[in-house]
């Protein structure tokens, strides 16, 4: 996925996550703070796709409050195949309902998203690293666990397309 609808966190949570990125860097664990263009922000992706048209997404979600001031509690560390290391929030009913509504509205508008971001398949997460493997994971997990639980509240959102260099706030 190179395009996403990302939701961002309150200043306190963002600061703690950036501090975690720095601690991972010091432990020689690749992290999102130093990945590619270095403009990533700590976030949770509600949807991902090969491409997203910001105008179509904004139109589909125009009558929703995106993001709602939804509170999360990151509770665990996880990994996807290929080296993606992440923090996972407790999957509250409010979070899952928000996600399902966003996907339904995008579907109704004909906005294509990845099957990995569909209700029942989507794993809510805040990516820490795209390339953490083996020894790096062993170094990262205790560092990540030390910051848990981590409370966060959604405060803003944007459609981001890294291939096209787009960042469109909603």
Long-range contacts of 164-167, Cβ-Cβ distance < 8 Å, separation of 24 or more: 164/3, 164/51, 166/3, 166/54, 167/39
pLDDT, tens digit (0-9, with 9 covering 90-100), for 13-35: 999 999 999 999 999 999 987 65
- Predicted local confidence at residue 40, as pLDDT: 80
**Whether the predicted pLDDT of 87 surpasses 70:** yes
**Whether the predicted pLDDT of 8 surpasses 70:** yes
- Predicted local confidence at residue 39, as pLDDT: 65
Residue of higher predicted confidence among 163 and 44:
44
Which tokens belong to 56?
A: 């179509």
- Report residue 38's pLDDT band, with 50, 70 and 90 as the boundaries: low
Domains in the chain (CATH in brackets) are 3-169 (3.90.1140.10)
Alpha-carbon distances of 158 from 8, 66, 85, rounded to whole Å: 8, 9, 22
Q: Which of 24-33, 34-43, 58-67 has the lowest mean pLDDT?
A: 34-43
Helix (H), strand (E), coil (C) string for 122-157: CCCCEEEECCCCCHHHHHHHHHHHCCCCEEEEEEEE
Q: Give CA–CA dist 42/165, Å, rounded.
A: 17
């Amino acid at each position: 996925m190179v395009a996403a609808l990302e939701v961002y966190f309150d200043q306190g949570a963002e600061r703690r996550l950036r501090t975690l990125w720095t601690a991972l860097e010091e432990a020689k664990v690749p992290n999102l703070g130093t990945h590619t263009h270095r403009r990533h922000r700590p976030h949770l992706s509600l949807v991902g796709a090969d491409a997203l048209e910001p105008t179509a997404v904004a139109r589909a979600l125009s009558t929703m409050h995106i993001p709602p001031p939804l509170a999360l509690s990151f509770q665990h560390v996880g990994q996807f195949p290929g080296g993606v290391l992440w923090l996972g929030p407790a999957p509250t009913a409010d979070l899952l309902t928000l996600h399902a509504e966003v996907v339904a509205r995008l579907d109704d508008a004909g906005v294509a998203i990845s099957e990995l971001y569909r209700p029942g398949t989507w794993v809510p997460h805040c990516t820490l690293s795209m390339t953490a493997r083996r020894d790096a994971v062993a170094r990262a997990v205790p560092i990540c666990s030390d910051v848990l639980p981590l409370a966060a509240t959604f405060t803003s959102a944007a459609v981001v397309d890294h291939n096209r260099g787009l960042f469109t706030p909603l």
